[in-house]
Amino acid sequence: MGPAVFVFLGIVAVIVVLIIANIKIVPQSKAYVLERLGAYSCTWDTGIHVKVPFIDRVAKQVSLKEQIVDFPPQPVITKDNVTMQIDTVVFFQITDPKLFAYGVEKPIMAIENLTATTLRNIIGDLELDHTLTSRDTINAKIRGILDEATDPWGIKVNRVELKNILPPKEIQDAMEKQMKAERQRRESILTAEGQKASQILVAEGQKESQILRAEADKESAILAAEAEKESKIRKAEGEAQAILKVEEARAKVIEYINSAAPGQGYLTIKSLESFEKAADGQATKLIIPSDLQGIAGLAASAKEILK
């Protein structure tokens, strides 16, 4: 093997090494900005690419994923001259690698400064209380301004969040006292409402109890009256039955006597017995039928003869 063969093999080895070295594989969610002789040439997407040695150069590798940047607190002054520290979190995504590579120098720093100035402008038009209660409004305004301003840089701002709003220490103390007083006021209101509700429930319970007691007394009186009425009815029915029995017995006696055809003597004796009972009473006058007078005289004559 002569020297020419070794030279040829060396050249082939160098060419193979150069080809292998200039084969680039772009991973997922990445983009490579390629320059040729110092000027923008193209943008490589995901896949295998080969660049020309010594002519082409990968100028920038760009991530297409959504990125998060947490900026340090920025001093801002509200409309009522209160200085606060506010830090922001920006969620953005690169949509155009070429514009991102050539649109602005240090794009992250540019976004930070733009966020700080936009935040100062928005907070400067708000008072302290409104600032503390308008996070969503402030976030939306900042996102809209940043998204519009970063379009020439190939950046899409998806979200902006105010991470912390820190008023001065004396303002925080005053707010804590105010919140404590508000909580005490609410507690007093809830206690008073609870006592009121309890008194109302007690009064309603007493009212219901009185109503139920009155209804019970009424029902008891009705039942007692009905019982007394039933007792009187039964008593009257018993007396009526007794009278009926006596009259039935008397009628049977009369019927029996009538069926036996009693003589005049028996009737006379019965009349005398009745007269005797009448004479034993308290009456001062007695009216004696004429037939009884004759019978009485006859009885006296019979008594004299028996003597």
Q: Is the pLDDT of residue 118 over 60?
A: yes
- Report which of residues 226 and 298 the model is more confident about: 226
Least confident of 33-47, 222-236, 238-252: 238-252
282: region left, alpha or beta (phi > 0 left; psi from -120 to 50 alpha)? alpha
Q: What is the pLDDT of residues 281-307, one digit of tens each?
A: 555 554 555 554 554 454 444 444 444
Question: Does residue 285 sit in helix, strand or coil?
Answer: coil
* Torsion of the alpha carbons at 100, 106, 109 and 115, rounded to the nearest 10: -30
Asked whether 34 and 43 are in contact (CB, 8 A), the reply is yes
Amino acid at 175: M
Q: How far is CA 160 from the centre of its chain?
A: 35
Arithmetic mean of pLDDT over the chain:
81
Q: CA–CA separation, 108 vs 26, rounded Å? A: 23
* Whole-structure pTM value: 0.54
Least confident of 62-66, 83-87, 284-288: 284-288
Least confident of 38-47, 66-75, 118-127, 267-276: 267-276
